[in-house]
Amino acid sequence: MAQDTLPAITQDAGTSAAEAPNAQLLNRQLSAVIEALGDGSEASVALLNDIAAAIASSIIGGTTGATANRLLRSKGTSGFALQNSPVTVDDSGNMSGVGALTAGSIDLTTPLAIADGGTGQSTQTAAFDALAPTTTQGDVIYHNGTDNVRLAAGTSGYLLQTLGSGANPQWVGAMPLLASGTMSSQATLDIPLTSFTAYAGIIIKLVILPATDGVDLYCRFSTDGGSTFAATNYGYGALAISDDGGVVGGVVSSVSGTTFILMNVSSANRQIGNASTEGWMGSIEILNPTSTAFWSRMTYQGAYASNAATSLSYSMAGQGTQKTAQDTNAIRFLFSSGNIASGFYRVYGIT
């Protein structure tokens, strides 16, 4: 048989030296097929040539290299030739050597653990819950400048207050409580306001009982944090209504040179009583206290029980001014005579 009429299968330009034995093996196998056919006709040779071409175009060649468990990939310029890769899979299925993955989605049978960069969950809500720092209903997530962290749920009725860029938020009351205290057998109640300059105003809730019966309640301002309190140039005005229907209109200073702001009716049997059921209570408001362009001033609403034999209660609505343009950073309350027997106060900020 004329085997030499069959073209030999050769390496193409992209076949490596390691791939050459595959072509040589194919030539030997084809020769064996021709020998088996035995007739050496042109038709047989043509058929074998077609078979050889088809086989040669689909031959898999190449080398896996010396590393065990290596994944192989096709060499695009050499047909079905193989070349090695840096990716390996061990007998337990663990893969290593993988670079960037590009895919529309990756289907994982078991969710990736948080320690491995996943969430350990298979649904959106559960995944977010697994990563969130919150632990209790009402918690809030905020950024502390480094991480997303938890702000624990606040007191019922409190509001979330931002302190601006560079500061953490906080829970505050509708009017945050800034200071509080009690009084007992003392000459004055002095409340410094120097720590509250960030607020637009201050509201003081005051309950105060005199040690002496039949006294007046005074108020004074300070501009040095309470080291001293001005005792000149005050003016005030108020309307008082008693529970017997009487309207008292005489609680108005006719001059601006008084030494205090008066906060009750100052006439016989209409002053503040000292029984445990009497005393003065009310709310004092100071707006824009840090301004040096305005006179120091306050407004108040209060009520007190008088020192009359049959005590009357009085409702007071008034205002007082220290007629000097200055900031107000402390306030003093005192009685016209004797000590403060007892009482308490709360200071709230107006934002």
pTM: 0.57
Residue 9 confidence (pLDDT) = 46
Query: 191 with 330: CB under 8 angstroms?
Result: yes
DSSP 3-state assignment of 25? helix
DSSP 3-state assignment of 222? strand
User: What domains can be seen in the chain, in order of their start residue?
Assistant: 1-89 (no CATH), 108-173 (no CATH), 177-350 (2.60.120)
DSSP summary character for residue 44: H
- The tens-digit pLDDT sequence of the chain (351 residues) is 444 444 554 444 444 554 455 556 556 666 666 666 656 677 667 766 766 666 655 555 666 666 777 776 776 665 556 677 788 888 887 878 777 767 666 677 788 888 888 888 889 999 999 999 999 999 999 999 999 999 999 888 788 888 889 999 998 877 888 999 999 999 999 999 999 998 999 999 999 999 999 999 999 999 999 999 999 999 999 988 888 766 555 555 556 678 999 999 998 899 999 999 999 999 999 999 999 999 999 999 999 999 998 888 999 999 999 999 999 999 999 999 999 999 999 999 998
DSSP 3-state assignment of 55? helix
DSSP 3-state assignment of 126? helix
Write out the E strands in the chain.
Answer: 70-74, 82-89, 95-96, 140-143, 148-151, 159-161, 170-172, 177-186, 188-192, 201-210, 217-222, 234-242, 247-248, 261-262, 279-287, 295-305, 313-325, 330-335, 340-350
Q: How many CB atoms lie within 10 A of CB 212?
A: 15
Query: What is the per-residue DSSP string for 237-294?
Result: EEEEEETTS-EE---B-SSS-BSSEE-S--STT-SB--STT-EEEEEEEEESTT-SSS
Residue 221 confidence (pLDDT) = 97
Burial category of 82 from C-beta neighbours within 10 Å (exposed 0-12, middle 13-18, buried 19 and up): middle
